[in-house]
Structure 1
Amino acid sequence: MNYFEGLSFVFGAVMILTRPAMHLFPKHWNSFELNTAYTEKQPKWVWVVAVLGLLLVGFTWYQHFTAGVPNSLIITVFISLTLIKTSQVLFNYQQFRKFVIHALTVDRSVLNKINIAVLFMGVAVISLGIFVY
């Protein structure tokens, strides 16, 4: 199994497996999101995860240029897109938290739309691992 295949399976599985938890245990999920993950004051773990994310993106680009795996650019760009959320959580935390509160408590249809999109993307990413890499 090459790096991109493994990355596809892990990333896709996380995308797919977290979606049912949000709907099967909505009160617990909301409590986790609002009281643990995205507290009123930006938690320190956000910066640690951001650094780890940057390292993952950097290593993925390194692998893309050095491993010679055909079509590795697809998952490399996909992983790089996570930097959009990372930058919002780091540098626009209060606005991001307002969005999370809105999606979890005011208009769950927003969360449903996001979850459907992420579920389809997760299936697509796992399919890359199975059929492309």
Structure 2
Amino acid sequence: MASSGGYTQDLPPQGGYGPIDWAKRIPKRVNGFMVFGSFIAFTTAAWVIFMHRRRIEKGHDLEVNDARIAVHPLYEAERHRMLMRLHRQNRDEERELMKNVPGWELGTFYGEPVFYNMRERFYHPTLEELYAHTKWYDIYNKAFEKLEH
């Protein structure tokens, strides 16, 4: 089993390797005043940036709060419109269901008012009363609507 080329052994370079550096090297110590000074500088810069951003955020929060206050009456009016529309649907449904019952007055139970309202104030009914003519899962979905958002 002769090889085609001659065998050469891996040898050190001519003149040998350089000297081995075995001496202990101690890095320069950082001055404590420099460390403390840089800490103070970075902390001050961060605090200035934080206060600047906080002022901007307060202004933004004030603007958003003012917008919410301005829109709130419109939101409440829309909620009341929806509630009145639902009352009308319930009244129409009651009229349709009880049209063949003799002596039935709309909004009463055989002539007696269902609710005692001496001051003629608006009555806020429960969800079950509002959604009396709907499926049970519609009431459930309306009651837990915020969980979906």
TM-score (norm 2): 0.23
Q: Which has the larger radius of gyration?
A: 2
Flag the structure with higher helix content: 1
